Amino acid sequence: MATEKKPYVIGLDLGGTNSVFGIVDAEGNVVATTSVKTRGHGPVEQYVKDCVEALQSTIAEVGGIEQIQGMGIGAPNGNYYTNCIEYAPNLPWDQENIPLGKLFSEALGLPVAMTNDANAAAIGEMTYGAARGMKNFIMITLGTGVGSGIVCDGKMVYGSDGLAGELGHVRVEPHKGRECGCGRTGCLETYCSATGVARTAREIIETSDTPTILRDIPIDQIESKDVSIAASKGDEVAKSIMDFTGRLLGRACADFACFNSPEAFIFFGGLTKAGDLIMDPIKKGYEENILKCYAGKAQMLISQLDDAKAAVLGASALGWEA
């Protein structure tokens, strides 16, 4: 007899500051949430204990642990194969492999699966969002960095070690590119992340005297959001920054298409709030650079998941297959 799926999963979006839990149903409704500060618990075992305690009343709200199918965790450097967090510089635990999957599984008596944030976003999009029904797509997350989750034939690409899908570190400028936090130069992320957009703005402001409302902001405080807002007000310099960023991202995606010929690229994160101001240049950059046999095939889409809930939803989606 096939075991029937239980009605809910737990998702954990583990960030450097907050650990946000959501209980989610099969339609992607977040029916209950709770959150815990990520720091200040001491060792990771105590963190898990405190989380589970905080979860008790939330679990009770949906009828108890018997109603829950599994748990999914989206965490920086979360590895699907090992169920561990590997080398995460922004988390409070000073150890190489944090066996968070195992700890939560033991504490809750549930199957637990883990992956990194961008993969979780892709799984969320596939389960509840713009990629429903898609078998081949690439998720690009535009945040402080650029992350990615790649789906081939309906399955997440985890690679030989669980760490596949680091498209933010493909080198789009192989010569004299910008320095990247990874220690190399020219990575996509140095141009198309929120940090990259702010960097472009500062470069342009410093090397030209074209008027722009961005000059009203102290130069070291300019953020990606400011550029979006200025562009939406018609500021020409800000629009040219969006154009540069989108064209470059589109060109990179044209290279990415050579891998798995995706039916869509799905973009997620703050930069997508700029709407057509960023999506039009992305599409243009893609069309200008795409290999003929792929031309016109991939859709360029913005994530359909609500920003505030996307990370928890993505993590929770992993719980169904845990």
Indicate the residue among 80 and 267 with the shorter CB distance to a second copy.
Answer: 80
Under 8 Å between Cβ of 76 and 114: no
Q: How far is the CB of 293 from a second copy (least distance, A)?
A: 5
Q: How far is the CB of 297 from a second copy (least distance, A)?
A: 6
Is residue 308 a contact point for a second copy (CB under 8 A)? no
Is residue 164 a contact point for a second copy (CB under 8 A)? yes
Per-residue contact track with a second copy, 79 to 118, x per CB under 8 A? -------xx-------------------------------
Can you tell me which of 53, 96, 215, 258 binds a second copy, judged by CB under 8 A?
Answer: 258
Indicate the residue among 131 and 279 with the shorter CB distance to a second copy.
Answer: 131
Under 8 Å between Cβ of 172 and 187: yes
Q: How far is the CB of 75 from a second copy (least distance, A)?
A: 15
What is the distance between the alpha carbons of residues 298 and 261, in angstroms, rounded to a whole number?
8
Task: For residue 120, give the 3-state DSSP assignment.
Answer: helix
Is residue 250 a contact point for a second copy (CB under 8 A)? no
Can you tell me which of 263, 273, 302, 321 binds a second copy, judged by CB under 8 A?
Answer: 263
Q: How far is the CB of 99 from a second copy (least distance, A)?
A: 18
Can you tell me which of 41, 239, 247, 251 binds a second copy, judged by CB under 8 A?
Answer: 251
Task: For residue 55, give the 3-state DSSP assignment.
Answer: helix
The stretch near a second copy (CB under 8 A) out of 98-106, 156-164, 268-276, 277-285 is 156-164
Can you tell me which of 40, 259, 275, 276 binds a second copy, judged by CB under 8 A?
Answer: 259
Distances (CA, A) of 192 to 167, 168, 197, 224, 302: 11, 9, 6, 10, 15
Which among 231, 148, 228 has a CA at the least distance from the CA of 187? 148
Is residue 247 a contact point for a second copy (CB under 8 A)? no
Nearest 5°: the CA angle 177, 195, 89 is 95
Distance of CA 226 to the CA centre of its chain: 21
Is residue 244 a contact point for a second copy (CB under 8 A)? no
Q: How far is the CB of 83 from a second copy (least distance, A)?
A: 17
Output b/e per residue, 114-142; b: 16+ Cβ within 10 A. bbbbbbbbbbbbbbbbbbeebebbbbbbb
Can you tell me which of 169, 247, 283, 309 binds a second copy, judged by CB under 8 A?
Answer: 169
What is the distance between the alpha carbons of residues 260 and 280, in angstroms, rounded to a whole number?
23
What is the distance between the alpha carbons of residues 101 and 162, in angstroms, rounded to a whole number?
14
Nearest 5°: the CA angle 29, 32, 33 is 110
Can you tell me which of 88, 100, 123, 150 binds a second copy, judged by CB under 8 A?
Answer: 150
List phi, psi (to 5°) of 114: -135, 150
Indicate the residue among 175 and 209 with the shorter CB distance to a second copy.
Answer: 175
- Sign (positive or negative) of CA dihedral 112, 116, 122, 128: positive
Is residue 163 a contact point for a second copy (CB under 8 A)? yes
The stretch near a second copy (CB under 8 A) out of 39-47, 145-153, 198-206, 267-275 is 145-153
In 62-193, which residue ranges form alpha helices assigned H by DSSP? 100-108, 117-128, 189-192
Q: How far is the CB of 251 from a second copy (least distance, A)?
A: 7
Query: Which residues, including other chains, have CB under 8 Å from residue 79's CB and lie 6 or more apart?
Result: 85, 86, 114, 115, 116, 161, 162, 163
Is residue 41 a contact point for a second copy (CB under 8 A)? no
Is residue 295 a contact point for a second copy (CB under 8 A)? no
**Rule CB under 8 A: which residues touch a second copy?**
86-87, 135-136, 150, 152-153, 155, 157-167, 169-174, 182-184, 251, 254-256, 258-263, 289, 291-294, 297-298
